[in-house]
A and B are shown apart, each in its own frame.
Chain A
Amino acid sequence: MSNALLEMRSISKQFPGVQALQDVTIDLAAGEVLGLVGENGAGKSTLIKILNGDYSMDAGEILIEGRKVDFRSPSDAAEQGIRVLYQELITLDTLTVAENLLVGQLPTRRGLGTVDWRAANENARTVLQRMNIDMDPRTIVGDLTVHQKQVLEIAKALQKKATILVMDEPTAALGEEDTQSLFGIIRSLKEQGVGVIYISHRLNEVFEITDRVTVLRDGRKIGTVKTSEAGMGQLISMMVGRELAEFYPKREVPVGDLLLEVRDLTIQGIIEHISFSLRAGEIVGLFGLLGSGRINVLRALYGLDGYDHGRIIVRGSRAVIAAPDKALGYGIGYMPIDRKLEGLALALPVSTNITMANIDAIGGGPVLNRKLERQKAGKWVQDVNIRTPDLATAVNSLSGGNQQKIVLAKLLETGSKIFLMNEPTRGIDVGAKVDIYQMMENLCEMGAGIVMISSELPEMLCMADRILVIAKGRIAAEFSHQEATQEKLLQATTL
């Protein structure tokens, strides 16, 4: 295929214990927008990291305009015209648009060698105009909206003569208007012959902007379809595969009293009028795409972030939750999405981490009763099946699954009745997952209630009694355990 701008042939990549990519082939033509879709863990980010030079591949080859290329680092990839735009924008916020575009290569006047600001601004204006953007190059980047910063990153990529642009979930933080604006830019990129790989979970957007779509699942390429000829249902079934049999048998737990009532929870510009309830023995799932606001809901309920309006009612009485310790006081516990960042003190021992959220209960009075602490930690290590040489081992030497179990144990030690879990089985092996599911069920049987965020559809369908789909800051739909299917959930996110 001599007119393919980019070809990735038979790419395979293995990580310890998991085959991330198996014999994946994709191709991209100049001036084309190729959608890349698939569930979390399908292999999209691994593929892109290989393209970007961040990872090396075990097998396969990459060709650009027919030439074989070999990347050792992101700068190699950049030299070949590849530019990946991630969620985290890398901008110099205190400087102007022009300066961000030209950082490191500001034009200078001949002779004096001083920066020629007029030329810089002109230069910037030209680049922006080529993309049909009306932005004053003298604006301070810190004042721009997220979308505008994105546009800036794209302009920067063009400035550096990128020919292949990869956009990873670009609309996650954007509103409708900005999304359309982005699409306009993508269309002008097409006209300039730039090839775009568009990664997104938002299927209706994929349908709108892409020419073709490649679907990945479990590290393999399932197929590539022309967008105009494909249907939403077809795409979803390709992503999702056959209807998954329940791999974890869920027990029937009787539902009890009202534990938590959330009414009209609002954070200006982020989430609006979120209302739901949680009963004892129930697992309520919050499903949403990146940028839907589901994490904001949980963090607000735990007091990690503030909220602007709304009522939170715990077991019948109004709760004012300004900080995590208040939440714990109401019997609400939280399992963060990133255990290394917010869940564990990696350098400290297992027992310290397990008791961290309930220090005041380690004995009466001001003294810390170490014997009691060991007892408590020991109990949880057993109950939650944590594999560790001993209680004094530093947490950072344990596996991811065991680390996550320690976070769970910490939560259990608080004696909370309401558990807010943000991706409880993220990044852990199957065995540990099952252990955690088991604990969750035990909790429900003992009368606790769980609000769970998960982006793994099988897990969500399996564990949740009710699933609330959150999109663009609002609750878009609600499904019971029986009626929910992967297709329905994904469809609901597009509403």
Chain B
Amino acid sequence: MEEKLQKKRQISTTWILFIVLLAMVAAFSALSKDFYSFLNLSTMLTNISFSGIVAGTLTLIMITGGLDISIGGNIALTTCLLAYLFNIQPPVPAWSLIPIALALGAAIGAFNGLFITQLDLNPIITTLGTMAVTRGLGYVLTKSRSILIMEDVTGFIGRTLIPGLQIPMPLAFMVVVYAFLYFLLGRSKFGRKVYCIGANQAAARASGIRVNRVKFLLYLLSGIAASFSGLILTGQTAVGMPQHANGVELDVITAVLLGGTALSGGKGDILGTLAGVLILGVLYNGFTMIGFRFVHIRVFQGIILILIVALYEMREKKRY
């Protein structure tokens, strides 16, 4: 009975978030005539998709109590590598760009996963190091410049609109990814294991769940998702540069925390993260439309992050 009540409270959080989202959309539309335009919405949703995908995989990692802040570096490196390979003589064939990107992501994810699970390293610091390594490699490849990559495969992923519905392709990918993650976390055996690890890692281990293997796979998944986002970004901007995705970690972590996932692990769900991603995306876009600049938003981001966590924390304490 209590669990049902608990579930209700959790669902209602997600519902509240979606209501907040709608309210914000309404508010911004009223405040700025450019907000509710097709161009803006389309751009906004594309931007959201780019960071939304990694927010999804990060949710799983955070449920198990881990963290991955190397995603920004991963994304940047992906764009740089693709652009670099496209511009060497002879350039790599266009169809190979996707597998190359995914392989890179897998390599980075595997690296993270190995060090964190086998050596029991602090995930924050480890992925901080990986972030530096990947972004640094991006700088090495491009010598700190931007390299143009204008071709159809990445263009398809990042720049196309689905005809008829006029939906940006990145958004479609995000929907697919979220659907996949929703089922993975909520309905698959693997997802069950993730939740068990998050709820009580010692009990999960004693129940025969291969904790290290699950965690490793989560970091692997995160790496692949990040480089897929890199593909999207490459397509969107047609440029590979090491400064890409600077600060995306902050956006993503804030979104996941907003969605109700706890930093200490155990709780969390994909729909909540989706709500969080959408709310933040609308917030930033809306503020930009009203006239705030990126730097102002950065300042608020910091405050919002702490407020969100403080709010959730106080709610937990109220229960007891």
A356:B6 contact, CB within 8 angstroms: no
B residues in contact with A394, CB < 8 Å: 2-3, 6
* Chain A residues, Cβ within 8 Å of B208: 324-325, 327-328, 357-358, 414
Indicate whether B9 reaches chain A with its CB closer than 8 angstroms.
no
Chain B contact residues: helix, strand, loop or mixed: helix
Q: Which of B196-231 contact A (CB under 8 A)?
A: 196, 199-200, 202-210
B163 to chain A, nearest CB (A): 33
Segment at the interface with A among B129-137, B150-158, B185-193, B296-304: B185-193
Q: Contacts A352-B196, A393-B2 given: A343-B190 contact, CB under 8 Å?
A: no
Q: Are A345 and B206 in contact (CB under 8 A)?
A: no
Is B1 in the interface zone, CB < 8 Å from A? yes
CB-based contact A347/B266 at 8 Å: yes
Assess whether B4 is interfacial by the CB under 8 Å rule: yes
Q: Is B195 an interface residue (CB 8 A)?
A: yes
Q: Contact at B189–A342, with CB atoms within 8 Å? A: no
Task: Verify B196–A345 contact, CB threshold 8 A.
Answer: yes
Q: Say yes or no: A366 contacts B202, CB within 8 Å.
A: no
For the complex, is A392 an interface residue (Cβ under 8 Å from B)?
yes
Q: Select which of B187, B193, B200, B266 is within 8 A of A359 by beta carbon.
A: B193
Nearest chain-A residue to B205 (Cβ)? A324
CB-based contact A393/B199 at 8 Å: no
Q: Does A285 count as interface, using CB distance less than 8 angstroms? A: no
Query: Which of B7, B183, B202, B203 gathers most chain A CB within 10 Å?
Result: B203
Cα(A304)–Cα(B192), bound, Å: 22
- Tell me how far the C-beta of B180 lies from the nearest C-beta in chain A, rounded to whole angstroms: 12
- Measured between beta carbons, the chain B residues less than 8 angstroms from A367 are 183, 187-189
Does A74 count as interface, using CB distance less than 8 angstroms? no
The interface residues of chain A lying within 8 Å CB-to-CB of B188 are 366-368
Within 8 A of B (CB), among A214-239: none
Across-interface contacts of B204 in A (CB, < 8 A): 345, 356
Contact B199 A325 (CB under 8 A): no
* Contact between B196 and A389, CB atoms less than 8 A apart: no
Q: Which residues of B contact A397 (CB under 8 A)?
A: 2-3
A344 near B200: Cβ-Cβ < 8 Å: yes
For B188, the closest partner residue in chain A by CB is A366
Within 8 A of B (CB), among A309-330: 323-325, 327-328
* A349 CB within 8 Å of chain B: yes
Task: Count A-side interface residues using an 8 Å CB cutoff.
Answer: 38
A187-201 vs B, Cβ < 8 Å mask (1 yes, 0 no): 000000000000000
A359–B192 CB distance below 8 A: yes
Q: Does A410 contact B (CB under 8 A)?
A: yes
Q: In this complex, what residue of B is CB-closest to A299?
A: B206
Residue of B nearest to A341 (CB): B202
What's the Cα separation between A410 and B200 when bound, in Å? Answer: 15
| CB–CB A325/B189 < 8 A | no
B210 / chain A contacts, CB cutoff of 8 Å:
323, 325
Judging by beta carbons under 8 Å apart, are A325 and B209 in contact? Answer: yes
Q: Are B202 and A359 in contact (CB under 8 A)?
A: no
User: Which chain A residues border B203 with CB–CB below 8 Å?
Assistant: 341-345, 356
* A390, B3: Cα distance in complex, Å: 10
> In the bound complex, do residue B1 and residue A356 qualify as a contact, i.e. CB atoms below 8 Å apart?
no
Contacts of B190 in A (CB 8 A): 366
Across the interface, which residues of A come within 8 angstroms of B4, CB to CB? 392
Tell me which residues from 415 to 441 in chain A have a Cβ below 8 Å from any Cβ of chain B. none
Q: In the assembled complex, which residues on chain B have CB atoms less than 8 Å from the CB atom of A349?
A: 3
Task: Establish whether residues A366 and B205, one from each chain, have CB atoms under 8 Å apart when the complex forms.
Answer: no
Q: Which residues of B contact A346 (CB under 8 A)?
A: 199-200
**Are A348 and B196 in touch, CB under 8 angstroms?**
yes
A352 CA / B198 CA spacing, docked (Å): 13
A303 to chain B, nearest CB (A): 9
A 331-355 to B, binary, CB cutoff 8 A, 1 in contact else 0? 0001010000111111111001000
B136 CB, min distance to chain A CBs, angstroms: 34
The answer to whether A368 and B205 touch across the interface, beta carbons within 8 angstroms, is no
**Which residues on A sit within 8 Å (CB–CB) of B266?**
347
Chain A residue nearest to B191 (CB atoms) is: A368
Alpha-carbon distance A323/B205, docked complex (angstroms): 9
Shortest distance from the beta carbon of A3 to any chain B beta carbon, whole Å: 48
| Neighbouring B residues of A324 by C-beta, 8 Å | 205-208
In whole angstroms, what is the CA distance A304 to B187 when docked?
A: 29
A348:B209 contact, CB within 8 angstroms: no
**Complex contact B191–A347 (CB within 8 A):** no
For A352-395 the 0/1 string (1 means CB < 8 A from B) is 10001111101100111010000000000000000001101110
- Out of B2, B183, B187, B206, which one reaches A342, CB within 8 Å? B206
Closest chain-A Cβ to B204's Cβ sits at a distance in Å of 7
Give the shortest distance, in Å, between B66 (CB) and chain A (any CB).
Answer: 17
Given known contacts A336-B206, A342-B203, A347-B266, A368 and B189 CB-to-CB distance under 8 angstroms: yes
Cα A13 to Cα B6 with chains together (Å): 36
Q: How far is the CA of A475 from the CA of B203 in the complex (A)?
A: 29
* Choice from A334, A347, A359, A390 contacting B206 with Cβ under 8 Å: A334
Which A residue sits closest to B193, measured CB to CB?
A359
A323: chain B residues at CB < 8 Å are 205, 210
Asked if B206 and A352 sit within 8 Å, CB to CB, the answer is no
In the bound complex, what is the Cα–Cα distance between A341 and B208 (angstroms)?
15
Q: Report yes or no: A343 in contact with B2, Cβ–Cβ below 8 A.
A: no
Bound together, the chains give a CA A381 to CA B59 distance in angstroms of 33
Encode A203-220 as 1/0 by CB contact (under 8 A) with B: 000000000000000000
**In the complex, A304→B191 CA distance in Å?**
23
Separation of A178 and B145 alpha carbons in the complex (Å): 68
Q: Across the interface, do B187 and A356 meet the contact criterion of CB distance under 8 Å?
A: no
Give the distance in Å from the alpha carbon of A385 to the alpha carbon of B191 in the complex: 29
Tell whether, in the assembled complex, residue A304 and residue B206 are in contact, meaning their CB atoms are under 8 Å apart.
yes
Could you say which residues of chain A place their CB within 8 Å of the CB of B192?
352, 359, 362, 368
Among candidates B2, B189, B200, residue contacting A360 with C-beta atoms closer than 8 Å? B189
Q: Which of A328, A352, A359, A390 has most B Cβ within 10 Å?
A: A359
The contact sample of 25 A-B pairs, CB cut-off 8 A, is A304-B206, A324-B208, A325-B210, A327-B208, A328-B208, A342-B205, A342-B206, A343-B203, A344-B200, A345-B196, A345-B200, A345-B203, A345-B204, A352-B192, A352-B196, A356-B207, A357-B208, A359-B192, A362-B192, A366-B190, A368-B187, A389-B1, A392-B4, A394-B6, A397-B3
- A-to-B contact residues, CB < 8 Å: 302, 304, 323-325, 327-328, 334, 336, 341-349, 352, 356-360, 362-363, 366-368, 370, 389-390, 392-394, 397, 410, 414
Q: A325-B208, A348-B196 are in contact. List 9 more A-B contacts (CB 8 A).
A: A304-B206, A344-B200, A344-B203, A345-B196, A349-B3, A356-B196, A356-B204, A363-B189, A392-B7
Which 7 pairs, one residue from A and one from B, show the smallest C-beta to C-beta distance?
Answer: A345-B199, A357-B207, A325-B208, A345-B200, A328-B208, A394-B3, A356-B207
